[in-house]
Amino acid sequence: MKPRMVLYCLLGGLPTTIAALGMGGLASWWLSGIVLAAAFVPVALFGPRRALTQFGVIAPVLFLVTAFCTWTEAMLFMPDFRQSAVRNLVGGTVMYLIVAAVLAALAAMLKLPRASDHTVPHRSLPKAMVVVVAGGFAYAVYYLIFGAITYQYFTHGYYPEAAHQAERLGLWFWGIQIGRGALMTLAVLPVIYTLRMKRWHAALAVATIIWVAGGLSPLLVPNAFMGTTQRLIHIVEILAQNASLGITAVFLLRPGTAERRAPTAATTMAA
């Protein structure tokens, strides 16, 4: 199994090297892809068994978290990035959808999905939608706490106008962050509902996915907008924000043992 998992990561990282054709940095892009593929190993092992369903689980994460949400943040705080914003979003979306397709195909070809009788508890759809919105507000709180600490002590010099930009946006700024948090929660919803793992294990797996997809993997690649130190700072900052959101989402969306037993006990007494 381990050699097949290594092969999954190595081959799954290759599609990201598409970006190196126009930007250079082949090794960095491949490393970024390998790390990204490694984050989805739990999905390959304990997620859906069919390739098409795996694609349906992975693709929303890579589009919403990796391509779109990171793009919106760059649009807010990096004026130079806006010059090629549409091209970056389209190019990133196409590349990451290819990554999702390759990872789904590799999981099936390498026969990675494991048999398991573990049932995944579900919230009802209305409750899940409430949790998605709650995830947006939770992310805004994590963003406020960890973002403020990072900006105050580490990145103020890199973004001297960031505070003024946020002030100019007013409540729209927090609306954007709540929206980003809700989108990221929605993106990992299929992962949470198909990952045949215990609640805590699933929480750690989703936390890793949302951190790697939304921060670590993209920031491993040098770019024209951030230096090495700046990228490392943001990797740690996004770990605090996104991992916290991932753990929160799993614990809100998957009932605990006590919650699942309560209806059973009530039904027994009624009978």
Three-state DSSP state, 60: helix
Q: What is the pLDDT of residues 27-77, one digit of tens each?
A: 999 999 999 999 999 999 999 999 999 999 999 999 999 999 999 988 888
Percent of the chain with pLDDT over 90: 73
Give the pLDDT mean for 183-202. 95
Residue 119 has pLDDT above 90, yes or no: no
Residue range 146-174: mean pLDDT, rounded: 90
Contacts 24+ apart (CB under 8 A), 256-264: 256/199, 260/121
Instruction: Identify the DSSP state of 18.
Output: G
| Long-range pairs of 98-101 with CB within 8 A, sequence gap ≥ 24 | 98/15, 98/18, 99/12, 99/15, 99/16, 99/33, 99/36, 99/37, 99/58, 99/62, 100/55, 100/58, 100/59, 100/62, 101/55, 101/59
What does the pLDDT look like over 210-262, one tens digit per residue?
999 999 999 999 988 899 999 999 999 999 999 999 999 999 999 876 565 65
pLDDT at 224: 84
